[in-house]
């Protein structure tokens, strides 16, 4: 059987801020057909990990590969062009612009080769995330759920091969979480690799095939979500449950 090259691979990646080691020799591979959830206590290094992949931070050591290509030295916009899409925990849309104009910015600066292509990619992204009915609404008037969906739509408009989702479900009601999960599952079904950091664990469990637990700056354990959540070690370090 021919080995499948991971869509995203981190090889012994480390990052420190002064004397504080935030990520320590972390290695992780993501396949194109995977949706992977990442959990861990606050301060474990989850968002730093995303910042290293997206290029917002540079690692002190180690390498990062996309489709087998070393992207460690690439700036964020070049990584976006190469296929790394990203959302942020706190959405910051251009509030004086419409939803479509916000998405158009993502399409134009992310991956489009022409104005016509940017409009096509933007309109397609709006349809894929169910935001088309809000296309002409000012971003500043959106609800929290709508802002989060706009954040997701802008990322989708960049035509990502792998999509990094940072705490999308936080602050949403249960029906809103279900809506969001349905969109993410559909995007994965359409061929986008998903890597999702989330504290709303039940949302992850309904959307991912593998769960990675980060603790003390490195990977504690990873595997099938149900087995990982049943692990006494995970219950102790993440859920705060004492296990005899």
Closest C-alpha among 125, 186, 117 to residue 156? 125
d(CA 72, CA 62): 8
**DSSP secondary structure string, 117-158?**
HHHHHHHHHHHHTT-GGGTTSBGGG--HHHHHHHHHHHHHTT
Reported as a single tens digit per residue, the pLDDT across 36-55 is 999 998 888 999 999 999 99
Closest C-alpha among 13, 111, 24, 103 to residue 62? 13
Residues 6+ apart with CB under 8 A from 115: 108
Residues of the chain with pLDDT under 70: 1-4, 112, 239-244
What CA–CA distances, in Å, run from 139 to 26, 99, 142, 166? Answer: 38, 5, 5, 20
Q: Tell me whether the CATH fold assigned to 1-27+46-82 matches the one assigned to 85-215.
A: yes
Q: Is the dihedral of CA 145, 148, 152, 157 positive or negative?
A: positive
Q: Which pLDDT score, from 0 to 100, does residue 26 have?
A: 97
The pTM assigned to this predicted structure is 0.93
- CATH of span 1-27+46-82: 3.40.50.300
Q: Parse the chain into domains and list their residue ranges.
A: 1-27+46-82, 85-215
d(CA 97, CA 100): 8
Q: Which pLDDT score, from 0 to 100, does residue 241 have?
A: 53
CATH fold of the domain at 85-215: Rossmann fold (3.40.50)
């Amino acid at each position: 059987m021919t080995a499948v090259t991971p869509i995203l691979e981190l090889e012994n990646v480390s990052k420190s801020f002064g004397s504080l080691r935030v990520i320590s020799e972390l290695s992780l591979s993501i396949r194109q057909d995977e949706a992977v959830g990442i959990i861990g206590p606050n301060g474990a290094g989850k968002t730093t990990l995303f910042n290293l992949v997206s290029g917002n931070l540079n690692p002190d050591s180690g390498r990062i590969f996309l489709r087998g290509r070393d992207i460690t030295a690439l700036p964020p916009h070049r990584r976006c062009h190469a296929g790394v899409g990203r959302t942020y925990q706190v959405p910051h849309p251009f509030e004086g612009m419409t939803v479509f104009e916000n998405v158009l910015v993502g399409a134009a600066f992310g991956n489009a080769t022409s104005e016509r292509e940017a409009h096509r990619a933007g309109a397609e992204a709006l349809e894929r995330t169910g935001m088309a009915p809000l296309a002409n609404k000012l971003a500043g008037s959106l609800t929290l759920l709508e802002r989060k969906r706009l954040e997701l739509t802008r990322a989708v408009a960049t035509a990502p091969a792998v999509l990094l989702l940072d705490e999308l479900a936080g602050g949403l009601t249960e029906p809103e979480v279900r809506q969001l999960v349905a969109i993410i599952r559909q995007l994965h079904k359409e061929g986008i690799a998903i890597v999702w950091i989330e504290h709303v664990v039940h949302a992850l469990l309904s959307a991912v095939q593998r769960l990675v637990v980060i603790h003390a700056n490195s990977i504690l354990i990873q595997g099938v979500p149900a087995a990982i959540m049943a692990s006494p070690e995970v219950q102790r370090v993440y859920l705060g449950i004492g296990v005899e």
